[in-house]
Amino acid sequence: MTPASGVHLVADDLTCARGKRVIVSGVDLDVPAGSRLALVGPNGAGKSTLLRVLAGLDAPVSGSVTVDGADVHRMRSRQRARLIAVQGQEEAPSAELTLAEAVALGRTPHRTPWALGEEGEKDIVQQALQAVGLAGRGEQSCTRLSGGERHRVVLARTLAQRTPLLMLDEPTNHLDAAWRLRLMDALEGLRSTVVAAIHDLDLALRYFDSVAVVDDGRIVAYGPPLHVFTAELLDEVFGVHGDIV
Residue ranges of the chain whose pLDDT lies below 70: 1-4, 113-119, 242-245
Rounded distance, CA 229 to CA 243, Å? 8
9-238 to CATH, choices 3.40.50.300, 3.30.430.20, 1.20.1050.10, 3.30.930.10 = 3.40.50.300
Residue-level pLDDT at 85: 97
Residue-level pLDDT at 243: 65
Residues 6 or more apart whose CB falls under 8 angstroms from that of 58 comprise 16, 49, 52
Specify the pTM. Answer: 0.93
Residue-level pLDDT at 228: 97
- How do the domains of the chain map onto residue ranges? 9-238
**Dihedral sign (CA 190, 224, 44, 235):** positive
